Protein backbone atom coordinates (compact mmCIF):
# COMPACT_ATOMS: atom_id res chain seq x y z
CA UNK A 1 0.00 0.00 0.00
CA UNK A 2 2.81 2.41 0.77
CA UNK A 3 3.86 2.04 -2.84
CA UNK A 4 0.43 3.05 -4.06
CA UNK A 5 0.47 6.11 -1.79
CA UNK A 6 3.83 7.24 -3.16
CA UNK A 7 2.64 6.73 -6.71
CA UNK A 8 -0.48 8.75 -6.03
CA UNK A 9 1.46 11.66 -4.58
CA UNK A 10 3.96 11.66 -7.41
CA UNK A 11 1.11 11.35 -9.91
CA UNK A 12 -0.78 14.25 -8.37
CA UNK A 13 2.34 16.40 -8.45
CA UNK A 14 2.97 15.80 -12.17
CA UNK A 15 -0.76 15.96 -12.77
CA UNK A 16 -0.93 19.39 -11.16
CA UNK A 17 1.67 20.64 -13.63
CA UNK A 18 -0.22 19.07 -16.54
CA UNK A 19 -3.32 20.81 -15.21
CA UNK A 20 -1.63 24.23 -15.30
CA UNK A 21 -0.62 23.69 -18.91
CA UNK A 22 -4.00 22.23 -19.86
CA UNK A 23 -5.89 25.14 -18.28
CA UNK A 24 -3.95 27.60 -20.42
CA UNK A 25 -4.64 25.42 -23.44
CA UNK A 26 -8.40 25.44 -22.87
CA UNK A 27 -8.39 29.19 -22.17
CA UNK A 28 -6.86 29.85 -25.58
CA UNK A 29 -9.34 27.51 -27.21
CA UNK A 30 -12.31 29.16 -25.52
CA UNK A 31 -11.45 32.74 -26.28
CA UNK A 32 -9.87 32.46 -29.70
CA UNK A 33 -10.31 28.91 -31.07
CA UNK A 34 -6.56 28.51 -31.01
CA UNK A 35 -5.34 24.92 -30.79
CA UNK A 36 -1.83 25.59 -29.65
CA UNK A 37 0.39 22.73 -30.80
CA UNK A 38 3.35 24.65 -29.39
CA UNK A 39 1.98 24.60 -25.82
CA UNK A 40 4.62 22.06 -24.75
CA UNK A 41 7.38 24.24 -26.22
CA UNK A 42 5.81 27.19 -24.41
CA UNK A 43 6.58 25.30 -21.18
CA UNK A 44 10.10 24.46 -22.33
CA UNK A 45 11.10 28.04 -23.21
CA UNK A 46 10.65 29.99 -19.93
CA UNK A 47 13.15 27.74 -18.13
CA UNK A 48 15.75 28.73 -20.72
CA UNK A 49 14.83 32.40 -20.38
CA UNK A 50 15.41 32.07 -16.63
CA UNK A 51 18.68 30.21 -17.18
CA UNK A 52 19.80 32.92 -19.61
CA UNK A 53 19.02 35.61 -17.01
CA UNK A 54 21.04 33.64 -14.44
CA UNK A 55 23.95 33.30 -16.85
CA UNK A 56 23.83 37.06 -17.27
CA UNK A 57 24.40 37.30 -13.51
CA UNK A 58 20.90 37.76 -12.12
CA UNK A 59 20.10 36.03 -8.81
CA UNK A 60 17.57 33.19 -8.96
CA UNK A 61 14.57 35.19 -7.71
CA UNK A 62 15.21 37.98 -10.20
CA UNK A 63 15.70 35.43 -12.99
CA UNK A 64 12.30 33.95 -12.16
CA UNK A 65 10.60 37.33 -12.36
CA UNK A 66 12.40 38.24 -15.56
CA UNK A 67 11.62 34.83 -17.05
CA UNK A 68 7.92 35.13 -16.28
CA UNK A 69 7.77 38.70 -17.61
CA UNK A 70 9.64 37.79 -20.79
CA UNK A 71 7.39 34.77 -21.34
CA UNK A 72 4.33 36.97 -20.98
CA UNK A 73 5.75 39.37 -23.57
CA UNK A 74 6.95 36.71 -26.02
CA UNK A 75 4.49 33.85 -25.55
CA UNK A 76 1.52 36.01 -24.59
CA UNK A 77 1.62 39.34 -26.38
CA UNK A 78 3.97 38.36 -29.21
CA UNK A 79 2.22 35.09 -29.95
CA UNK A 80 -1.16 36.79 -30.11
CA UNK A 81 -0.13 39.84 -32.14
CA UNK A 82 2.21 38.17 -34.60
CA UNK A 83 0.62 34.77 -35.22
CA UNK A 84 -2.89 34.44 -33.84
CA UNK A 85 -4.36 37.82 -34.81
CA UNK A 86 -3.49 37.64 -38.51
CA UNK A 87 -4.70 34.05 -38.76
CA UNK A 88 -7.71 33.85 -36.46
CA UNK A 89 -10.32 34.69 -39.07
CA UNK A 90 -9.11 31.93 -41.39
CA UNK A 91 -10.36 29.09 -39.24
CA UNK A 92 -8.90 26.56 -36.84
CA UNK A 93 -6.70 24.41 -39.06
CA UNK A 94 -4.25 26.89 -40.67
CA UNK A 95 -3.58 28.41 -37.26
CA UNK A 96 -3.05 24.96 -35.72
CA UNK A 97 -0.52 24.18 -38.47
CA UNK A 98 1.20 27.51 -37.90
CA UNK A 99 1.60 26.65 -34.20
CA UNK A 100 3.19 23.34 -35.26
CA UNK A 101 5.73 25.34 -37.25
CA UNK A 102 6.18 27.61 -34.23
CA UNK A 103 6.92 24.53 -32.11
CA UNK A 104 9.69 23.50 -34.53
CA UNK A 105 11.02 27.07 -34.57
CA UNK A 106 11.14 27.36 -30.77
CA UNK A 107 12.87 24.00 -30.36
CA UNK A 108 15.47 24.80 -32.99
CA UNK A 109 16.04 28.30 -31.61
CA UNK A 110 16.77 26.94 -28.14
CA UNK A 111 18.99 24.20 -29.59
CA UNK A 112 20.92 26.72 -31.65
CA UNK A 113 21.19 29.67 -29.28
CA UNK A 114 21.39 27.82 -25.99
CA UNK A 115 22.37 24.17 -26.01
CA UNK A 116 21.35 20.82 -27.41
CA UNK A 117 22.27 19.22 -24.08
CA UNK A 118 20.04 19.00 -21.02
CA UNK A 119 20.88 21.66 -18.43
CA UNK A 120 20.22 21.32 -14.69
CA UNK A 121 17.78 23.82 -13.24
CA UNK A 122 17.56 24.95 -9.61
CA UNK A 123 14.46 24.06 -7.65
CA UNK A 124 12.37 26.63 -5.80
CA UNK A 125 11.65 23.99 -3.17
CA UNK A 126 14.46 22.57 -1.02
CA UNK A 127 15.16 18.89 -1.56
CA UNK A 128 14.41 16.42 1.22
CA UNK A 129 11.50 14.42 2.56
CA UNK A 130 8.82 14.99 5.13
CA UNK A 131 6.77 12.32 6.81
CA UNK A 132 3.02 12.26 6.20
CA UNK A 133 0.99 9.46 7.80
CA UNK A 134 4.22 7.53 8.15
CA UNK A 135 5.14 7.91 4.46
CA UNK A 136 8.16 9.78 3.27
CA UNK A 137 6.97 12.39 0.77
CA UNK A 138 9.47 14.54 -1.11
CA UNK A 139 9.27 18.26 -0.44
CA UNK A 140 9.52 18.74 -4.19
CA UNK A 141 6.18 17.01 -4.79
CA UNK A 142 4.54 18.98 -2.01
CA UNK A 143 5.96 22.26 -3.26
CA UNK A 144 4.76 21.58 -6.80
CA UNK A 145 1.30 20.66 -5.56
CA UNK A 146 1.00 23.73 -3.33
CA UNK A 147 2.12 26.19 -6.00
CA UNK A 148 -0.08 24.58 -8.66
CA UNK A 149 -3.12 24.53 -6.36
CA UNK A 150 -2.55 28.18 -5.42
CA UNK A 151 -2.33 29.12 -9.10
CA UNK A 152 -5.47 27.22 -9.98
CA UNK A 153 -7.44 28.59 -7.02
CA UNK A 154 -6.26 32.09 -7.90
CA UNK A 155 -7.35 31.64 -11.50
CA UNK A 156 -10.79 30.20 -10.70
CA UNK A 157 -11.37 33.01 -8.18
CA UNK A 158 -10.43 35.51 -10.85
CA UNK A 159 -12.75 33.88 -13.39
CA UNK A 160 -15.74 33.30 -11.13
CA UNK A 161 -15.63 35.96 -8.45
CA UNK A 162 -14.41 39.13 -10.10
CA UNK A 163 -15.98 41.44 -12.64
CA UNK A 164 -12.90 41.01 -14.81
CA UNK A 165 -13.35 37.24 -14.77
CA UNK A 166 -17.01 37.53 -15.69
CA UNK A 167 -16.09 39.78 -18.58
CA UNK A 168 -13.54 37.22 -19.75
CA UNK A 169 -16.12 34.45 -19.61
CA UNK A 170 -18.61 36.58 -21.49
CA UNK A 171 -16.02 37.33 -24.15
CA UNK A 172 -15.33 33.62 -24.50
CA UNK A 173 -18.92 32.41 -24.53
CA UNK A 174 -20.52 34.94 -26.81
CA UNK A 175 -18.23 37.66 -28.16
CA UNK A 176 -21.02 39.41 -30.08
CA UNK A 177 -23.30 39.89 -27.10
CA UNK A 178 -20.33 40.65 -24.88
CA UNK A 179 -19.36 43.46 -27.22
CA UNK A 180 -22.90 44.84 -27.18
CA UNK A 181 -23.00 45.03 -23.38
CA UNK A 182 -19.69 46.83 -23.38
CA UNK A 183 -17.11 44.17 -22.62
CA UNK A 184 -13.78 45.06 -24.21
CA UNK A 185 -13.55 41.66 -25.94
CA UNK A 186 -10.18 42.25 -27.60
CA UNK A 187 -8.58 43.18 -24.29
CA UNK A 188 -10.12 40.12 -22.62
CA UNK A 189 -8.68 37.84 -25.31
CA UNK A 190 -5.28 39.43 -24.84
CA UNK A 191 -5.63 38.85 -21.11
CA UNK A 192 -6.21 35.12 -21.61
CA UNK A 193 -3.06 34.95 -23.73
CA UNK A 194 -1.12 36.68 -20.94
CA UNK A 195 -2.61 34.31 -18.35
CA UNK A 196 -1.66 31.33 -20.51
CA UNK A 197 1.90 32.65 -20.78
CA UNK A 198 2.02 33.11 -17.00
CA UNK A 199 0.73 29.58 -16.40
CA UNK A 200 3.22 27.95 -18.76
CA UNK A 201 6.06 29.94 -17.19
CA UNK A 202 4.93 28.73 -13.77
CA UNK A 203 4.70 25.15 -15.05
CA UNK A 204 8.17 25.53 -16.51
CA UNK A 205 9.50 26.69 -13.16
CA UNK A 206 7.93 23.70 -11.42
CA UNK A 207 8.71 20.90 -13.84
CA UNK A 208 12.18 21.78 -15.11
CA UNK A 209 14.00 20.96 -11.83
CA UNK A 210 12.54 17.44 -12.11
CA UNK A 211 13.11 16.70 -15.82
CA UNK A 212 16.02 19.10 -16.60
CA UNK A 213 15.91 21.89 -19.17
CA UNK A 214 16.08 20.44 -22.68
CA UNK A 215 14.96 21.80 -26.03
CA UNK A 216 12.87 18.71 -26.76
CA UNK A 217 11.21 18.38 -23.35
CA UNK A 218 8.08 20.15 -24.57
CA UNK A 219 6.96 17.29 -26.81
CA UNK A 220 5.85 14.90 -24.09
CA UNK A 221 4.48 17.67 -21.91
CA UNK A 222 2.46 19.23 -24.71
CA UNK A 223 0.85 15.89 -25.50
CA UNK A 224 0.03 15.21 -21.86
CA UNK A 225 -1.60 18.63 -21.61
CA UNK A 226 -3.66 18.00 -24.77
CA UNK A 227 -4.89 14.72 -23.42
CA UNK A 228 -5.67 16.27 -20.06
CA UNK A 229 -7.62 19.08 -21.70
CA UNK A 230 -9.68 16.73 -23.85
CA UNK A 231 -10.29 14.11 -21.21
CA UNK A 232 -11.46 16.72 -18.72
CA UNK A 233 -13.54 18.70 -21.18
CA UNK A 234 -12.19 21.05 -23.77
CA UNK A 235 -14.46 23.90 -22.80
CA UNK A 236 -14.16 23.88 -19.03
CA UNK A 237 -11.38 25.15 -16.81
CA UNK A 238 -12.25 22.75 -13.99
CA UNK A 239 -12.36 19.94 -16.57
CA UNK A 240 -8.78 20.69 -17.56
CA UNK A 241 -7.73 20.63 -13.91
CA UNK A 242 -9.42 17.29 -13.27
CA UNK A 243 -8.05 15.93 -16.53
CA UNK A 244 -4.52 17.00 -15.64
CA UNK A 245 -4.59 15.34 -12.24
CA UNK A 246 -6.20 12.22 -13.67
CA UNK A 247 -3.63 11.85 -16.47
CA UNK A 248 -0.76 12.45 -14.02
CA UNK A 249 -1.99 9.72 -11.67
CA UNK A 250 -2.90 7.36 -14.53
CA UNK A 251 0.53 7.80 -16.09
CA UNK A 252 2.31 6.97 -12.85
CA UNK A 253 0.09 4.00 -12.05
CA UNK A 254 0.46 2.66 -15.60
CA UNK A 255 4.23 2.83 -15.35
CA UNK A 256 4.11 0.81 -12.15
CA UNK A 257 1.36 -1.71 -12.85
CA UNK A 258 0.96 -2.08 -16.63
CA UNK A 259 4.37 -1.98 -18.26
CA UNK A 260 7.01 0.67 -18.66
CA UNK A 261 7.06 -0.02 -22.39
CA UNK A 262 3.39 0.68 -22.88
CA UNK A 263 3.00 3.29 -20.15
CA UNK A 264 2.43 6.00 -22.76
CA UNK A 265 -0.31 3.91 -24.34
CA UNK A 266 -2.61 3.95 -21.31
CA UNK A 267 -3.49 7.66 -21.40
CA UNK A 268 -3.90 7.37 -25.20
CA UNK A 269 -6.36 4.51 -24.99
CA UNK A 270 -8.17 6.38 -22.23
CA UNK A 271 -8.28 9.44 -24.51
CA UNK A 272 -9.76 7.47 -27.42
CA UNK A 273 -12.36 5.93 -25.12
CA UNK A 274 -13.36 9.33 -23.71
CA UNK A 275 -13.63 10.91 -27.16
CA UNK A 276 -15.72 8.07 -28.48
CA UNK A 277 -18.08 7.70 -25.56
CA UNK A 278 -18.13 11.16 -24.03
CA UNK A 279 -16.69 13.58 -26.58
CA UNK A 280 -17.47 16.65 -24.50
CA UNK A 281 -15.05 15.36 -21.85
CA UNK A 282 -15.71 14.05 -18.37
CA UNK A 283 -16.74 17.44 -16.98
CA UNK A 284 -17.44 19.32 -20.19
CA UNK A 285 -20.61 20.75 -21.63
CA UNK A 286 -21.71 19.33 -24.96
CA UNK A 287 -20.68 21.66 -27.77
CA UNK A 288 -22.89 22.32 -30.74
CA UNK A 289 -21.61 20.11 -33.47
CA UNK A 290 -20.79 22.22 -36.49
CA UNK A 291 -22.14 20.52 -39.57
Partner 1 sequence: MSGFAKPLKIALGLAIIAGLIIVPMNFNRYGLFILSQWAVMSIAAMGLNLTLGYAGQVSLAQGAFVGIGAYAAAIMTTHGWPLPAAMLVAIVLSFAVGWVLGYPALRVQHHYLAFVTLAFSTLAFLVFRNESWLTGGIYGISNIPRPHIFGFATNKPLPFYYVCLGALAIVSLAVWWLIRSPWGRAFMALRENPLRAQSLGIDTRRYTLMAFAIGSALGGVAGALYAPLTQYIDPVPFNLSLSLDLLMMVIVGGAGFYFGPFLGAMIAVLLPEWLRFTEGYYLMLYAIAVMLLLIWSPTGILGILDRYMAERRTKAASALRAVAKSRLETAQ
Which residues of the chain form contacts with partner 1 (CB under 8 A)? 35, 37, 83, 86-87, 90-98, 100-102, 104-105, 108-109, 111-112, 219, 223, 226-227, 230, 234, 261-262, 264-265, 268-269, 271-272, 275-276, 279, 289-291
Least distance from partner 1 to the Cβ atom of residue 188, Å: 22
Closest to partner 1 by CB, 193 or 234: 234
Distance of CA 125 to the CA centre of its chain: 20
3-state secondary structure of 132: strand
Least distance from partner 1 to the Cβ atom of residue 35, Å: 6
CA distances in angstroms from 25 to 36, 61, 177, listed in the order given: 7, 27, 24
Least distance from partner 1 to the Cβ atom of residue 290, Å: 7
Closest to partner 1 by CB, 45 or 227: 227
Least distance from partner 1 to the Cβ atom of residue 218, Å: 12
Closest to partner 1 by CB, 1 or 291: 291
Give the 3-state DSSP-derived string for 175-198, with helices as H, strands as E and coil as C: HHHHHHCCCCHHHHHHHHHHHHHH
Least distance from partner 1 to the Cβ atom of residue 205, Å: 25
Closest to partner 1 by CB, 34 or 140: 34
Q: What is the CA radius of gyration of the chain?
A: 19
Residues across the chain? 291
Closest to partner 1 by CB, 62 or 81: 81
Q: Where are the alpha helices (DSSP H) in the chain?
A: 2-32, 39-55, 60-71, 85-87, 92-113, 139-161, 163-173, 175-180, 185-211, 218-232, 237-257, 265-277
Least distance from partner 1 to the Cβ atom of residue 137, Å: 31
Cα gap 240→269, rounded to integer Å: 18
Closest to partner 1 by CB, 21 or 64: 21
Amino acid sequence: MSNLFDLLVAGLATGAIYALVAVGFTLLWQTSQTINFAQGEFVMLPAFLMLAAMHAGAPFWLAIILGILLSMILLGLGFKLLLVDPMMRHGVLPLAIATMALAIGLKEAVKQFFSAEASPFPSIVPTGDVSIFGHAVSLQSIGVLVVAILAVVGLTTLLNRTSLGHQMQAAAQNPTVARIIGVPVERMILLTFLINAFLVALASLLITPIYLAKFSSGEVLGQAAFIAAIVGGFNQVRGAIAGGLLIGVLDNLAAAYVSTQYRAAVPMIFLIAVILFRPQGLLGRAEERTV
